[in-house]
A = this chain, B = another copy of it.
Amino acid sequence: MNWRFSRLSAGGEMPRNAADVRLFTCSFSPEAELARFTQAHPRAGGVVSFLGQVRSSSGVEAAGDAVEALELRHYEPLTLPAMHELAERILGRWDLEGLLVIHRSGTMMPGDPIVLVAAAARHRRSAFAAADFAMDHLKSESWFWKREKVGGQWRWVEPRAEDYQDIARWS
């Protein structure tokens, strides 16, 4: 099974600052991860982060339509290499001190963190752009399938055209 991780170093030469890319199968503390990341990059003037969490309600719908749980499935031989390749692309495009990408899989409850992306940079604009780019591309290029539990029933969530529009902003 050694092919599972054989493509991690496919990005060419080593970037100046390595990315911290992790997949978690159980819950994590975004604030602890962010604090550690920030402290690890004292030369960065700014850290931009995005935290995605399971919404406690899908919004305008009736109370009976609230999402009770969320499940993310992924295919390990593709997910982690794709996340590493995305991270290398981001480090090559912006001048960052550090990049953090954490993604959950498995079953999550409302309020649970799903994804945490953080970019540390000497310049604010680079940090914002890198975090924004990372989220746009993580959402559209990563191999995650999502099920929501609503009214006791699990249903798969379909792909959205909006994600492709988000990516088009960067080309």
- Tell me if B39 and A111 are in contact (CB < 8 A): yes
- Tell me if A43 and B56 are in contact (CB < 8 A): yes
Q: How far is the CB of A57 from chain B (nearest CB, A)?
A: 6
Question: A25-44: contact bitstring with B at CB < 8 Å (1 yes, 0 no)?
Answer: 00000111011001100111
| Partner pick for A52 among B34, B50, B124, CB 8 A cutoff | B124
Chain B residue contacts of A127, Cβ below 8 A: 50
Task: Determine the interface band of chain A, counting residues with CB < 8 A from chain B.
Answer: 20 to 34
Segment touching B, from A13-21, A74-82, A128-136, A146-154: A128-136
Residue of B nearest to A45 (CB): B55
- Tell me if A48 and B124 are in contact (CB < 8 A): no
Secondary structure type dominating chain A contacts: mixed
Chain B residue contacts of A7, Cβ below 8 A: none
- Tell me if B110 and A42 are in contact (CB < 8 A): yes
Expressed in whole angstroms, the Cα–Cα distance for A22 and B31 within the complex equals: 20
Question: A99-122: contact bitstring with B at CB < 8 Å (1 yes, 0 no)?
Answer: 000000000001100000000001
| Partner pick for A50 among B31, B47, B110, CB 8 A cutoff | B47
- Tell me if B125 and A166 are in contact (CB < 8 A): yes
Judged by a CB distance under 8 angstroms, whether A9 is at the interface is: no
